Amino acid sequence: MRALAVALLITLAAGSVRAQSAPTTTLGPQTQAPSPAAVKLYQQDRKSPALAVTLETLCPIAGAGPLYVGRDGDRAGFLAVLSAVSGGAAVGGVFWLLHLDNQHPSGASRVENDFYQGTAITLLVTSGIVYLLARASGISLASESANAHNEELRQRLSAP
């Protein structure tokens, strides 16, 4: 009888041990609530895409928006140099046209003057197109740069 009682106790104890399940885990990344300090730091360090685009739009040199964000400095610098050179070429083309307009050639020098005027107009139009493309690229880069900065900051701080 004593053996039966011991066997019954062992069976009951083993059953209760089997009834306890191991802690389960969910598959996939576990998310935890961000700390208030991380949320505050994210709010302080995030960059406004609207402000980046506004700066890019108002500044006559392309690249101001990404420079505000502090990201993509090499592309922003290239756009700044490109827009400055094209703006300078446009101003040079205008002065060249003004200089040629004051000339009153005749005969063979008239052909030479027409060639120079055509070259100056081509320089003016080409530099204007390059300037507009640099500005459009700068506006696009400003928004993209601000969004990428904010996403990297959010991931680094584990903020929402």
DSSP per-residue string spanning 68-116: HHT--HHHHHHHHHHHHHHHHHHHHHHHHHHHHHT----THHHHHHHHH
pTM given for the model: 0.68
Quick: pLDDT tens for 17-26: 444 555 555 5
- So where are the chain's domains? 33-157
Give yes or no for residue 101 having a pLDDT over 70: yes
| pLDDT (0 to 100) of residue 8 | 44
Structure tokens at 52: 């980046």
Q: Which residue has the higher pLDDT, 39 or 5?
A: 39
Q: Which residue has the higher pLDDT, 59 or 158?
A: 59
Give yes or no for residue 4 having a pLDDT over 70: no
| pLDDT (0 to 100) of residue 37 | 80
| pLDDT (0 to 100) of residue 126 | 96
Q: Which residue, chain included where needed, has tokens 């052909």? A: 111
| pLDDT class of 36 with cuts at 50, 70, 90 | confident
| pLDDT (0 to 100) of residue 57 | 92
In this prediction, what percent of the chain has a pLDDT beyond 90?
Answer: 42
Q: Is the Cβ–Cβ distance between 41 and 154 less than 8 Å?
A: no
Half-sphere exposure of 40 (CA within 13 A, CB side): 3
Quick: pLDDT tens for 120-138: 999 999 999 999 999 999 9
